[in-house]
C-alpha cells in the first residue's frame, strides 16, 4: 500500500521477512573501552548484578545508584562506540542528576533532590530549545529543530536520581554494514537515528533494514526531516511493524519529485526488548 504523507514523499511498506530464528546479540558488537570489565550487554539490568557483586555497596564510598549508573554507562559507551564506527557522533552520560549532575552536549539536567522529582513525577532536561520533562520510571525522545536526543529516568531516591542522556550530533549515514545496538536503561530502550537517502539523484529509493530481536515486538518507525535544516520535528511518515524473535528484514520503497529526499530514519524498539540493527542497505 502506497501512503502519501506530504508533497515531498510517498512511502510503500513491502513487508517483513524472518531471515533466521537465531538470536545473536554478541557478534560484531563492541565492548566498552572504559568499563571493559563489565559484561557486554544491551540491557543494563544484565550488567547490574555483576557490578553490584564485584563492587559492593558500603553505604559510604559506594551506594546503590552508582551500580545502576555504571551499568548504563557500560551499555551506552559500547553503543556510542558502535555508532562512531559508522563515522558519526553520539554523546552519552549517566549519573546522579542532583550531585554531581548530568550534562552532555547541549543537554543539562536541572539539579534537584530526588524527592522533588519523585513527588512531581518527572525530572527536567534543559536544551537550547526549551525544557523537556522526563517521567520518573520512563523516558523521552527529543526531536526539535536540529536537536535529536533521548533521556531515561529509571530510578529516583530521596536525594539521588539516575538520569541517562544521549545526543546524536552527527548522523550515521546509510548504508550501514556493521551492527549497532539499541541500548536499554533498565528496560527503557533508546531509539537510533540514521541519515538515509538515494545514492544517486533519482526519484525513488529502496531501503532494506535488518533487525535482530530477542523476542517478538512492535517497532516504531519514523521518517523525519534533517538536522542542519531545522526540521527533525517534521515527521514525513510513520509506521509500526511487527518483528519476530530472531533476525528480521523489512523493506520500504519511497519516492519524491524530482528526487527522493534524504531523511532522518528513526527506529524505536519496544521497551524490555534486546534489539540490534544488523544493517541498512540501499538500492540502487
Q: What is the pLDDT of residues 70-118, one digit of tens each?
A: 999 999 999 999 999 998 899 999 999 999 999 999 999 999 999 999 9
pLDDT tens-digit series, residues 139-184: 999 999 999 999 999 999 999 999 999 999 999 999 999 999 999 9
- Average model confidence (pLDDT) for the chain? 93
| Domain made up of 2-24+172-283: CATH architecture | Sandwich (2.60)
Model confidence at 4: pLDDT above 60: no
- Max Cα distance, the chain (Å): 65
Model confidence at 61: pLDDT above 90: no
Domain boundaries, the chain: 2-24+172-283, 45-170
Name beta bridge partners: 89.
170
For the chain, what's the residue count? Answer: 284
**Residue 180 is placed in which grid cell?**
549497532
Segments in the chain forming alpha helices (H) = 45-54, 64-85, 114-120
CA 143, 148, 152, 158 dihedral sign is: negative
Cell 542542519, located at residue: 228
**Residue 216 is placed in which grid cell?**
517478538
Number of neighbours of residue 33 by Cβ within 10 angstroms: 10
What is the Cα 101 distance to its own chain's centre? 21
Distances (CA, A) of 183 to 174, 195, 270: 20, 19, 12
pLDDT tens-digit series, residues 214-257: 999 999 999 999 988 888 999 999 999 999 999 999 999 999 88
- Rounded to whole angstroms, the Cα distance separating 51 from 135 reads 26
- Rounded to whole angstroms, the Cα distance separating 243 from 221 reads 12
DSSP of 148-168, one letter per residue? Answer: EEEEEEEEE-SS-EEEEEEEE
CA 103, 187, 156, 54 dihedral sign is: negative
**Residue 267 is placed in which grid cell?**
527506529
C-beta of residue 217 within 8 angstroms of C-beta of residue 187:
no
The predicted structure's pLDDT at residue 257: 85
Model confidence at 63: pLDDT above 80: no
Kindly tell me the number of DSSP H helices and DSSP E strands found in the chain: 3, 21
CA torsion 122→127→129→135, rounded to 10°?
Answer: -20
- Rounded to whole angstroms, the Cα distance separating 284 from 270 reads 30
Amino acid at each position: 500500500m502506497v501512503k502519501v504523507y506530504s508533497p515531498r514523499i510517498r512511502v510503500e511498506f513491502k513487508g517483513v521477512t524472518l531471515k533466521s530464528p537465531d538470536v545473536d546479540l554478541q557478534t560484531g558488537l563492541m565492548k566498552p573501552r572504559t568499563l571493559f570489565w563489565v559484561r557486554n550487554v544491551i540491557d543494563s539490568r544484565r550488567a547490574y548484578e555483576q557490578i553490584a557483586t564485584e563492587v559492593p555497596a558500603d553505604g559510604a564510598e559506594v551506594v546503590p545508584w552508582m551500580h545502576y549508573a555504571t551499568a548504563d554507562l557500560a551499555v551506552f559507551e559500547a553503543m556510542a562506540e558502535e555508532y562512531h564506527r559508522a563515522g558519526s557522533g553520539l554523546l552519552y552520560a549517566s549519573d546522579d542528576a542532583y550531585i554531581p549532575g548530568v550534562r552532555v552536549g547541549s543537554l543539562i539536567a536541572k539539579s534537584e533532590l530526588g524527592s522533588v522529582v519523585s513527588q512531581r513525577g518527572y525530572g527536567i532536561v534543559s536544551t537550547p530549545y526549551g525544557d523537556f520533562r522526563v517521567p520518573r520510571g520512563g523516558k523521552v525522545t527529543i526531536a526539535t529543530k536540529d536537536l535529536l536526543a533521548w533521556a531515561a529516568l529509571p530510578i529516583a531516591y530521596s536525594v539521588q536520581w539516575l538520569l541517562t542522556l544521549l545526543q546524536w550530533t552527527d548522523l550515521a549515514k546509510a548504508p550501514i554494514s556493521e551492527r549497532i545496538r539499541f541500548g536499554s536503561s533498565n528496560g527503557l530502550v533508546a531509539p537510533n537515528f540514521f541519515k538515509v537517502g538515494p545514492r544517486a539523484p533519482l526519484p525513488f529509493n529502496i531501503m532494506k533494514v535488518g533487525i535482530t530481536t530477542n523476542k517478538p515486538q512492535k517497532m516504531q518507525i519514523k521518517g523525519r526531516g534533517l538536522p542542519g535544516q531545522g526540521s527533525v520535528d517534521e515527521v514525513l511518515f510513520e509506521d509500526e511493524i511487527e518483528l519476530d524473535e530472531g533476525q528480521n528484514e523489512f523493506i520500504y520503497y519511497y519516492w519524491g519529485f524530482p528526487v527522493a529526499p534524504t531523511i532522518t530514519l528513526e527506529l524505536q524498539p519496544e521497551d524490555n526488548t534486546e534489539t540490534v540493527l544488523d544493517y541498512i542497505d540501499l538500492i540502487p
